Amino acid sequence: MAVVDFYDLDPHQLSLLISACEAKDRSERCRAAIAVEGATTADRWGQLKPHPLLAVEAVARGQFYLGYRALGLDVMPTGNVGRPRVVGGR
């Protein structure tokens, strides 16, 4: 189920959630490319260097976790969390 099904998010929170999800997608695309291409690449002199997408993947993963944490999704709830979605009207 989607986060937006459980929480009544303010516009800035929804924007943060979208950014976090985009960062997660970017991280996963980088991870897939690294899995295919390998963790190292040769420079023009034949010296092995870390794959450039390793850094991009790490930054994107960090961005995801920052957004996740900022939304309070990194803690286990002890009870009701946030404002529950009102069904039917206010």
Give the angle subtended at the CA of 15 by the CAs of 11 and 18, to the nearest 5°.
140
Residue 82: band (very low, low, confident or very high) from pLDDT cuts 50, 70, 90: low
Residue 85, class by beta-carbon neighbours within 10 Å (0-12 exposed, 13-18 middle, 19+ buried)? exposed
The boundaries of the domain holding residue 60 are: 13-70
Does residue 5 form part of some domain? no
- Global pTM reads 0.73
Q: What is the mean pLDDT of residues 72-79?
A: 66
* Radius of gyration in angstroms for the set of CA atoms belonging to the chain, rounded to a whole number: 19
- CB-CB contact of 42 with 48 (8 Å): yes
Domains identified in the chain, total number: 1
Does residue 19 form part of some domain? yes
User: pLDDT tens, 2-51?
Assistant: 767 777 788 898 899 999 999 999 999 999 999 999 999 999 999 999 99
